[in-house]
Structure 1
Amino acid sequence: MNSPLPETSPAPSPVPPALPDAARRRWLYAGVAGAAAVAGVAWWKFQPHAMESEAEKALWAMEFETPEGTALPLKPYLGKPLLINFWATWCAPCVEELPMLNAFYREQAPKGWQVVALAIDQPSSVRKFLAKLPLAFPVGLAGMQGTDLGRSLGNLTGGLPFTVVLGGEGRVLHRKMGQVTAQDLQQWAALR
């Protein structure tokens, strides 16, 4: 007669030995260093970098076509504070900030402020967008010319939105990568 085999439970898995304190510290330091490196790269990516030496001069010589097909030279804007916003219809933060920029323009235009939006986008997309959300300030169809201009002004990654604030004498006073805030506009309005 066969006797039943005794039930056996599976052998417990060996528990890996705990890391010594020194090894744990090394892993912790490596994790902190890795996180710092990622944060550093993100900071670098979203900060305006040095402008090309002739960028301001080149900016004032530029001309763009408007969605209506007319010329939009930048030179006539020299002499008063100017906010230039680089944007695209496919850029959600760009689209979000446009109504705020429009309100800024309406409020500050009597005080001498000017605003120009340079669309880094397809002309048909910009026309369709502006039919739904008309803007009180001029819009230029910038395309690659606008991307190159943004890079010369310190936007090396070509990220959008990108905003440049120029004083009346034509010098860059401020540049911002990313979405504009109400606080930004308030601070810039105090600049002249």
Structure 2
Amino acid sequence: MWNHAQAPRPADALASRQLYGITLEDADGHAQSLSQWRGKILVVNFWATWCAPCVAEMPDLDKLQQEYSERNVAIIGIGIENRDRVRQFRDRLGLRMTLLAGGFDSLGLARSFGDDQGVLPYTALLSADGRLLKAHAGALGAGQLRQWLDATQ
């Protein structure tokens, strides 16, 4: 099982510029420009409905989004799925965090943040100015993510 943190790579500035230039549909079919999160600490979680560790960590990510929302933090999920599957997943779990439908093309964005093997889930932490601070392949525990976020405050 893949489960490791990675140091940021030189190409990460390019990756954050790519991220902020992307528009994806949310679970309700509305276009969401990722640039709306520029200026916030941003956690981007790449996931899929068929990925058991992804499904298991999603409620924790949702709770952390609610907990940190007043602290200039946004936690978003980019599903390697179509919009209908993302919506069904959100509704089934009762999630409130932003979930976007990226399809398999979003694996390229995950790759630009260091996910060279296509591991899911894959989580990237970006500073308010878009620098990649941390990346993690595999399930990321709520305690570890809380430590990451607290270190940015």
Could you tell me the TM-score, scaled by structure 2's length? 0.89
What do residues 110-161 of structure 1 show as CA deviations (whole Å, max 9, x unaligned)?
Answer: 1111111000023332222122112221111011331110011110111100
The amino acid across from 1:60 in the alignment is: Y
Q: Which residue of 2 aligns with 1:88?
A: 48
Q: Does 1:78 align with 2:30?
A: no
Unpaired segments ≥5 residues, structure 1: 1-41
* Bigger strand fraction: 2
Instruction: Report the Cα distance in structure 2 between the residues aligned to 1:52 and 1:122, rounded to whole angstroms.
Output: 28
Instruction: Tell me, yes or no, if structure 1 residue 56 matches structure 2 residue 16.
Output: yes
Relative to structure 1, the CA distance from residue 162 to residue 51 in structure 2 (aligned partners, 3 Å threshold; closer, same or farther) is: farther
- Three-state SS of the structure 1 residue aligned to 2:124 is strand
Specify the code of the residue in structure 1 equivalent to 2:64: F
Shift of 1:187: 1.1
1:148 to 2:108 alignment? yes
Q: Which residue identity is paired with 2:70?
A: P
Matched pairs, number: 150
Match of 1:160 among 110, 120, 130: 120
Higher CA-based Rg: 1
**Paired residues of 1:48 and 1:155 also in contact (CA < 8 A):** no
Say whether residues 1:184 and 2:106 are aligned partners: no
Displacement of 1:93: 0.3
**What is the one-letter code of the residue matched to 2:28?**
E
CA contact (8 A) 2:43 2:123 kept: yes
State how far apart, in whole Å, the 2-side matches of 1:88 and 1:140 are. 11
Shift of residue 163, structure 1, vs aligned partner: 0.3
Amino acid at match of 1:65: E
Q: Is the 8 A contact 1:84 1:115 kept in 2?
A: yes
Structure with bigger RCO (C-alpha 8 Å, 6+ apart):
2
Q: CA deviation at 1:107?
A: 0.8
Q: Matches of 1:82 and 1:170 in 2, distance apart? A: 8
1:99 to 2:52 alignment: no
CA distance in 2, matches of 1:81, 1:46: 21
Check conservation: 2:83, 2:100, Cα contact below 8 A: no
Give distance in 1, aligned partners of 2:86 and 2:21: 23
**CA deviation after TM superposition for structure 1 residue 189, in Å:** 1.9
Task: Work out whether residues 82 and 102 of structure 2, in 8 Å CA contact, stay in contact via their aligned partners in 1.
Answer: no
The Cα RMSD (Å) is 2.0
